[in-house]
Amino acid sequence: MSPRTLSDHELWNAILQGGHSAFSMLFDRYWASVYTTVYSYVKDETISKEITHDIFLNIWLKREQLQILSFSAYLRAAGRYHVYKYMKQAKAIPVTYSATLEESADLVCRNQGDENLGYLELRNNIDEHLMELPKRCREVFILSRQQHLTNDQIAGKLGISKRTVENQLTHALHHLRVMLKNISIGIFTWLLFVWLC
């Protein structure tokens, strides 16, 4: 049986019945995508593989408790969650001894782990609030901010006017600003233009 002959929904129903071959098909279909997402955060091949395998193992072990409507969305969220968990556990900074102040002058005095965790939390917040937008508005925003298409390209791809694209983007940005009003304007603006780059 070819993996392409069954939809994700059909595979999931088979998995719920304990279907090992269906789970293997699902694993083959999504493993590379999950691994790529995880690797983009942790930049370590071994850790990325471990996290990716943990995600699929959890799906198999907890299959009777899970309600998955979209595998691609679920796996993206699971990838970010497991990365967040890993970074939280590994965020301790090693202590470096130096005999003189001059020797330590070049050390960077910031916690990269905390910065990455903060970024992931903000990204998760944005993702959650994006799901509250109407489908077309969310689609336009993602094409603009994730796929970096121009307004003209989005209009052509979706068969709508450039003005409609601009209106949808304005609506999405306003919605996110309101929902994320506790984030400083500078951080928010930066996030909107660089997230998922």
How does pLDDT run across 69-123, given as a tens digit for each residue? Answer: 788 888 888 888 888 888 877 764 444 544 544 444 444 444 555 555 555 666 6
CB 39 within 8 A of CB 20: no
Q: What is the pLDDT of residue 172?
A: 82
pLDDT at 11 over 80: yes
Q: What is the pLDDT of residue 87?
A: 83
Q: What is the pLDDT of residue 112?
A: 54
Q: What is the pLDDT of residue 121?
A: 65
Q: What is the pLDDT of residue 71?
A: 82
Q: What is the pLDDT of residue 178?
A: 73
CA distances from 41 to 9, 26, 144, 196 (A): 29, 23, 22, 10
Q: How many angstroms separate the CA atoms of 8 and 11, rounded?
A: 5
> pLDDT tens across 149-192, in order?
888 999 999 999 999 988 888 888 777 777 666 554 444 444 54
